[in-house]
Chain A
Amino acid sequence: MALGLGCSAKPGRAKENRTGSWRTFRPEFLHEKCTKCGLCSLVCPEGCIGEDAEGQPVPDYDYCKGCGLCAEECPSQAIEMKKEEK
């Protein structure tokens, strides 16, 4: 494989790396407690929390590393970190 001139490369390569497999704890979203404030999506370092048609948060477990920031910051305690079953 030739090196890219000036150490250049096409962007988007990080998508190929499915970091979800690194997870020990997995965030579970409790929709009944959720106020749809969107803070979880905002603080997620991976940017992998989207939302569904009702505005409920939807995580992308392919990339969620299970860091727990969303659960820590959720004002409604609507996210619980559960041990990953591998």
Chain B
Amino acid sequence: MMEFMEGSHAVAHSVKHCRPEVIAAYPITPQTHIVEALAEMVANCHLDAEYITVESEFSALSACLGASAAGSRVYSATTSQGLALMFEVCFNCAGMRMPVVMSIVNRALGAPLSIWNDQQDSISLRDSGWLQFYAEDNQEAADLHYLAYKVAEDRNVLLPAFVCFDGFILSHTYEPVDMLTQEQVDSYLPKYTPVQRLDSADPISFGLFASPEYYMEFRYQIDQAVKGAAKTIASAGREFGEMFGRDYGDLVESYRLEDADCAIVAMGSICGTVKDAIDEMRKDNKKVGLLRLRSFRPFPHKEVRAALSGVNCVAVLDKNVSLGTKGAVALEVRDALYGQQVPVLDYIIALGGRDVRKKDIRAVVDMAGQGKGDLFYGLRQELVS
């Protein structure tokens, strides 16, 4: 049913529909509305879950890890510095193969302190073994939680997953969202049945010591599971599409790319603005298209190569920067296009909440056409010269 709601509340309701058994979170802007709403649902007995109040994000994810090891479906949400504090536990969740689902309400990392949006936080955890999905709008932000649990808990995957959506730009925006009913979600997402769990009657230990003779093999298995998740995403995403009409089987979305000379690559809410800008540029006979990455982990190398091999130039919009080199998305896109002779230009954009308008997208495309790229877009030169 179409409802008009804030992004955070749409996500809180979709999480509720996933029937998490344990929630542990520590409030941090702009994630707060989600966990407040869930805490209220638990307090009012609208959600039968254990809500663990903790004293830090480190404890929040540690509690989730333990609860997941005990065989529960668990949920958390965080952002920015909160995610940074979870760093160690993130690697443990993936290494112990715990299908924790966590919303990342994307926000910049300090210093300097910024409460505003970019994607540096989740991108910085790209090597942790968590799946990473990025939503363009609140519909997708809500839906991707269903998909995330379905994929994470699949026996061929068993990995934790981030559902990333842009802080404020999506989390604090009211717009129509088609909310599924509990019955619909139940028919899509079965109860979680752990392969193995902590049980005092049949004890087991997780995440044990691995000597040099074993460690690499464990890492290899996690890597294989992340890569292999693409197949599960495809089937779970198609199934979602067949049941509810919104197909998430593809790890990427192509927009007006068929005959494009210039392709923009981006993730998250900026893609809405990019699509509007593309429509305008198309009216001026500029053949521009968009390749939107919905999944960053696993990275859709094959799809990127297939979609971009024929274009004359690729302009990547990175709302993050791997300091000392480039944006993380551009690095991956270049890797995917290795040997293809397609120039890939990187534009670090919208860091720390700097607004992006259609004219900015047009400017990026113009620069890409002139071969000018690999730069921070829109710098206030008077401040840095």
Q: Which residues of A contact B96 (CB under 8 A)?
A: 6-8
- Chain B: interface size category: 10 to 19
Q: Which residues of A contact B195 (CB under 8 A)?
A: 5
B203 interfacial by beta-carbon distance below 8 Å = yes
Q: Mark B185-224, 1 if CB is under 8 A from A, else 0.
A: 0000000000110000001111110100010011001000
Q: Is the CB of B196 within 8 A of A7?
A: no
Give the CA-CA distance A8 to B197 in the complex, in Å: 10
Q: Which residues of B contact A9 (CB under 8 A)?
A: 204-205, 208
Give the CA-CA distance A9 to B158 in the complex, in Å: 17
A10 interfacial by beta-carbon distance below 8 Å = yes
- Chain B binding surface SS class: loop
B interface residues, Cβ below 8 angstroms from A: 95-98, 158, 195-196, 203-208, 210, 214, 217-218, 221
Q: What would 25 A/B residue contacts be, using CB atoms closer than 8 Å?
A: A3-B214, A3-B217, A3-B218, A3-B221, A5-B97, A5-B195, A6-B95, A6-B96, A6-B97, A6-B98, A6-B206, A6-B207, A7-B214, A7-B218, A8-B96, A8-B196, A8-B206, A8-B207, A9-B204, A9-B205, A9-B208, A10-B203, A10-B204, A11-B203, A11-B204
Supplied contacts A3-B221, A7-B208, A8-B196, 18 more A-B pairs, CB within 8 Å: A3-B218, A4-B208, A5-B196, A6-B95, A6-B96, A6-B98, A6-B207, A7-B206, A7-B210, A7-B214, A7-B218, A8-B207, A8-B208, A9-B204, A10-B204, A10-B205, A11-B203, A11-B205
